[in-house]
C-alpha cells in the first residue's frame, strides 16, 4: 500500500512540476505533442567579423523559450583568440523598433561573451537581432533580424569588421 501511494504522489508531483495536466489537454486539442521542457535556442544566422582580413568570430541571437527573453552570444575564433590577446568585443541584442537593449563585452581571454537578456515584447513589432564589433573598428556584424510575432526573418545576417 505505501508503495502505491508513493507512486501516486510521485506521478502527481511530476504532473504538477512539468505542467503535464494542462499541457496534455491543450496538446490534445491542437493535435500537437506536449512540450515537456524549455531552454535556450539559437535564432537565425550568425554575423561574422573579419579584423584585418582575419576571421575574428561570430555573433548570434539566442532565445529563452521558458521566459520569452532574447540575448546575444559572441564566440571568438580560436586562431584569432590566440594571436590577438587583449582584443575586445562589444556585443548587443537590439531592435530597430525600440525597446530594451542587452549589452555585453569581453576580451579574448574568454571564449564566449553574452549580453543581458531583453523581453522580446519591449519593442513593437518584436523584431530583434544580435550585433558585435571588435576593437570599435569598422562596421558591426549583424545576425538575422528575427520577428517573434510572425516567426519570420526580416533581414539576413551581415558580416562586419575592418
Same domain for 101 and 143, yes or no, is yes
Same domain for 50 and 121, yes or no, is yes
- Kindly report the pTM of this predicted structure: 0.76
Same domain for 16 and 49, yes or no, is no
Number of domains in the chain: 2
Same domain for 49 and 20, yes or no, is no
C-alpha cell at 21: 495536466
Question: What is the CB-side half-sphere exposure of residue 125 using CA atoms within 13 A?
Answer: 12
Range of the domain at 76: 40-161
pLDDT class of 35 with cuts at 50, 70, 90: low
Same domain for 32 and 53, yes or no, is no
Same domain for 81 and 151, yes or no, is yes
Helix (H) or strand (E) holding 103: strand 102-107
Same domain for 64 and 23, yes or no, is no
Same domain for 95 and 114, yes or no, is yes
Same domain for 12 and 77, yes or no, is no
pLDDT digits (tens, 9 = 90+) for 117-154: 999 999 999 999 999 999 999 999 999 999 999 999 99
Q: Which residue, chain included where needed, has cell 506521478? A: 11
Amino acid at each position: 500500500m505505501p508503495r502505491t501511494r508513493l507512486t501516486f504522489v510521485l506521478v502527481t508531483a511530476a504532473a504538477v512540476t512539468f505542467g503535464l495536466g494542462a499541457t496534455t489537454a491543450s496538446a490534445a486539442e491542437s493535435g500537437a505533442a506536449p512540450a515537456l521542457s524549455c531552454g535556450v535556442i539559437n535564432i537565425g544566422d550568425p554575423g561574422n567579423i573579419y579584423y584585418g582580413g582575419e576571421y575574428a568570430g561570430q555573433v548570434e541571437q539566442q532565445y529563452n523559450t521558458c521566459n520569452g527573453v532574447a540575448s546575444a552570444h559572441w564566440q571568438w575564433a580560436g586562431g584569432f583568440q590566440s594571436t590577438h590577446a587583449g582584443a575586445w568585443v562589444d556585443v548587443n541584442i537590439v531592435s530597430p523598433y525600440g525597446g530594451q537593449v542587452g549589452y555585453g563585452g569581453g576580451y579574448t581571454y574568454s571564449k564566449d561573451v553574452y549580453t543581458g537578456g531583453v523581453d522580446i515584447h519591449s519593442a513593437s513589432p518584436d523584431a530583434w537581432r544580435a550585433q558585435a564589433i571588435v576593437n570599435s573598428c569598422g562596421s558591426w556584424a549583424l545576425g538575422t533580424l528575427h520577428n517573434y510575432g510572425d516567426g519570420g526573418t526580416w533581414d539576413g545576417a551581415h558580416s562586419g569588421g575592418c
